[in-house]
Amino acid sequence: MLTIPVALSDNPYDVIVGHGARHLLAQTISELHNPPKKVAIITEVNLVDAGWLGGLDSGCEQVVFTIEGGEGGKSLATVEMLCRKLVTAGFSRNDLVVGVGGGIVTDVAGFVAAIYHRGIRYLSIATSLLAQVDAAVGGKTAVNLAEGKNLVGAFWQPSAVLCDTEVLSSLPPREWACGRGEIAKYALLRGEGGRELLDLDLHDQVASCVADKALVVVGDERESGQRALLNYGHTLAHALEALDLERGETTLDLKHGEAVAIGLMFAATLAFDLGRIDDSRVHEHRIILGELDLDGRLPEGLSATELVDLMGRDKKADHDLTFILDGAQGIEVVKNLDVHAVRSSLENMGAKP
């Protein structure tokens, strides 16, 4: 097992990465200050059906609540349902929520914990590559609205995160791609030498991404500055995901990491068009995505005008268009971008006006 500390001054915790890490749940809970009497495990039906919760022991009285898989389950309706179940089951402020699943589950479970009784503790058992390298770490919890991704949420740090690499063996190919989109982001954020991350074995790759994120989170827990860089590639990615949410259908049907890969390629294209980077750095983006078997091409038939409107709703924006872009000083936040320049870069990637 590999242990990565997230050394926050107020809420420090450990991320444990390893084969079978989920079975450390009871030990981890017993080591908490004032351990809970009851544990609510929030998960998806498919994980229960696959047997991954078999033998999962919290060492406390525990109940299991399941939610709908996919972005459709990441909603305020799901949050209300879970909070009401916690009330019915008699959960107090000293009890514990445990999210067992991918990024959707850890986001929902964390947000439920953040608002139930004005905040109770939670712990994540991350079972997808996306959750392990990014989503389950750092305390950002949120659900979607029809108008966009992650628009309602809270910063609420977990008491611990267990990244069980054994469970990754059951992931379908597109779920691997989902996590690799975030790995590509971390490789690009490293600048020179970023490709070295891709050469590590799985355990070290997960642990290295967690360590990179922990370093940023400790320095900027509530995203008032440098933490925004962790959204590299996500401005367009969230807009692409919002298209399906807004339309109430799965026209694009993009996994988060697939959307991030497109967003990363767009960020490189926009930075090149603005004269911030040269073609060799754009090529580096293509190389890293290619080594991770990711396709950074924009889906056909999309409207640049519609995408720009959706990107204007991004959480980083302050009544403007804000992007995380590469440049001579490395990757940084760039505000007040010209709408026409952004639209032009989208059209350069194949979007319609």
Tokens representing 309? 């409107």
256 is catalytic: yes
Catalytic residue among 33, 34, 118, 340, which? 118
140 is catalytic: yes
Catalytic residue among 22, 121, 175, 231, which? 231
Catalytic residue among 74, 121, 149, 234, which? 234
Q: Around Cβ 4, how many Cβ atoms within 10 Å?
A: 23
Catalytic residue among 213, 285, 315, 343, which? 213
238 is catalytic: yes
231 is catalytic: yes
Report how far residue 276's alpha carbon sits from residue 157's, in angstroms, rounded to the nearest whole number.
35
80 is catalytic: no
348 is catalytic: no
246 is catalytic: no
Catalytic residue among 227, 255, 285, 343, which? 227
CA torsion, points 152, 173, 161, 13, in degrees to nearest 10? -80
Catalytic residue among 175, 223, 258, 284, which? 223
Catalytic residue among 74, 121, 140, 316, which? 140
Could you tell me if 39 and 95 are in contact, meaning their C-beta atoms sit under 8 angstroms apart? yes
Q: Which helix (H) or strand (E) holds 62?
A: strand 61-67
The b/e string for 263-284 (b: 16+ C-beta within 10 A; e otherwise) is bbbbbbbbbbebebbeeebbeb
Catalytic residue among 22, 238, 316, 343, which? 238
Q: Which helix (H) or strand (E) holds 203?
A: helix 202-219
Residue of 314, 166, 350 lying closest to 232 (CA atoms): 314
71 is catalytic: no
Catalytic residue among 175, 182, 221, 241, which? 182
Report how far residue 107's alpha carbon sits from residue 83's, in angstroms, rounded to the nearest whole number.
14
343 is catalytic: no
**Distances from the Cα of 333 to the Cαs of 93, 97, 166, 227, 316, in angstroms?**
38, 34, 37, 10, 9
Catalytic residue among 256, 315, 316, 343, which? 256
Residues annotated as part of the active site: 118, 140, 182, 213, 223, 227, 231, 234, 238, 256
